[in-house]
Chains A and B, each alone.
Chain A
Amino acid sequence: AQSVSQHNHHVILSEAASLELGCNYSYGGTVNLFWYVQYPGQHLQLLLKYFSGDPLVKGIKGFEAEFIKSKFSFNLRKPSVQWSDTAEYFCAVLTRTSYGKLTFGQGTILTVHP
């Protein structure tokens, strides 16, 4: 079965700092990759997704992620974070054999100080 690993449980940054959250998955076949975000007190929402094509994908609010197949990674980046980016971020993977069942990572809590 596939698995997803997020390296950092809690990341603390100051505003304007750059962000990179790590995500690695274990599955040898074709994957769809996602980052979901959960703002305090809100439900999860899709931040960005990768299905195929350009491995650098852009999402909402200035976030981007790069799919590196050889490293089984899908790291999330943002050049300059804002206080409003404080949230929990989840990486998720969908494989061709999982039939719609997303596998989520453990989540990374991002705290941005003004």
Chain B
Amino acid sequence: NAGVTQTPKFQVLKTGQSMTLQCAQDMNHEYMSWYRQDPGMGLRLIHYSVGAGITDQGEVPNGYNVSRSTTEDFPLRLLSAAPSQTSVYFCASSRIVRTGELFFGEGSRLTVL
């Protein structure tokens, strides 16, 4: 079982560049989310989606866009990368929105120079 798949695993960007982190899940989960992990700060929610066509902001949404055109895919777009966006990004999904039992991808390590 693939579970939650994130690509790329590693990426280096220059300030001002844009890119998309891909996330796909094959478990037919309605809920998908993006977190960023920074040392000493735990995981912070960027954006989330409770179903196709529905997205909402989390705790730290600035500088990021998302869309959810299908149940399976939830890409995260960095519009104009900044050094403050250097982080490890995790995509997570859940079968039932309210349970909090998340399945995580393996993470994408992004460095912005």
Chain A residues proximal to chain B, CB less than 8 Å: 4, 6, 9, 32, 34, 36, 42-46, 49, 51, 90, 92, 94, 99-107
Contacts and interface: CB of A to CB of B under 8 A. Distances in A.
A109 to B, nearest CB: 10
Contact of B104 (A45, A49, A103): A45
Interface of B: 4, 31, 33, 35, 40-45, 48, 50, 58, 90, 92, 94, 97-102, 104-107
Nearest to A108: B42
A49 B101 contact: yes
Nearest to A32: B100
A34 B42 CA distance: 14
Contacts of B97: 99-100
Contact of B45 (A6, A42, A101, A105): A101
A18 B36 CA distance: 31
B107 A43 contact: yes
A104 B94 CA distance: 16
Contacts of B48: 100-101
Given A99-B97, A100-B50, A106 B40 contact: yes
A-B CB proximity, top 6 nearest: A94-B100, A100-B97, A104-B42, A104-B43, A43-B104, A44-B104
A43 B100 contact: no
23 contacts: A4-B42, A34-B100, A36-B102, A43-B4, A43-B106, A43-B107, A44-B92, A44-B102, A46-B101, A46-B102, A90-B42, A90-B43, A99-B50, A100-B31, A100-B48, A100-B94, A100-B98, A102-B45, A106-B40, A106-B41, A106-B42, A107-B42, A107-B43
A21 to B, nearest CB: 13
A102 B100 contact: yes
Contacts of B40: 9, 106-107
